[in-house]
């Protein structure tokens, strides 16, 4: 199972809006996640930072599929007013795994 993590940023004043929007994720987007091969996707919040973690058999396939899916584009547009862009213009930055324990 492949894993990936990302960090995103929002203003703490947009936290409630971020949570509310995620209570009603577009069912078409959720279906696209499964169709793309995403097995697990979680997002955590801490003081303006969002930590996203996902698992899939093949993350390259997931990213390729979602990057072309209309529901993914709609969700990105819907969230764009509260996500802060990084210096490179992207909403998220992939972060390196430095430790893992499995049993």
pLDDT the model gives residue 73: 97
pLDDT the model gives residue 18: 98
Using DSSP's 3-state secondary structure scheme, residue 54 falls into: strand
pLDDT the model gives residue 78: 97
Distance CA 87, CA 103 (A): 38
The residues, any chain, with a CB within 8 Å of residue 22's CB and separated by 6 or more, are: 43
- pTM of the entire predicted model: 0.91
pLDDT along the chain (103 residues), means of 10: 97 98 97 98 98 98 96 97 96 96 93
Contact (CB, 8 A) for 54 and 38: yes
pLDDT the model gives residue 63: 96
- Structural domains in the chain, CATH included, are 2-95 (3.30.70.1090)
The residues, any chain, with a CB within 8 Å of residue 58's CB and separated by 6 or more, are: 2, 37
pLDDT the model gives residue 51: 98
Distance CA 56, CA 63 (A): 10
């Amino acid at each position: 199972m492949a894993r990936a993590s990302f960090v995103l940023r929002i203003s703490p004043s947009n936290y409630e809006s971020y949570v509310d929007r995620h209570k009603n994720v577009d069912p078409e987007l959720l279906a696209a996640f499964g169709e793309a091969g995403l097995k697990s996707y979680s997002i955590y919040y801490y003081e303006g930072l969002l930590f996203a973690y996902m698992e899939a058999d093949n993350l390259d396939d997931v990213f390729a599929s979602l990057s072309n899916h209309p529901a993914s584009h709609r969700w990105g547009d819907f969230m764009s007013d509260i996500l802060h862009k990084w210096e490179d213009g992207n909403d998220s930055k992939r972060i390196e795994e430095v430790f893992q324990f499995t049993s």
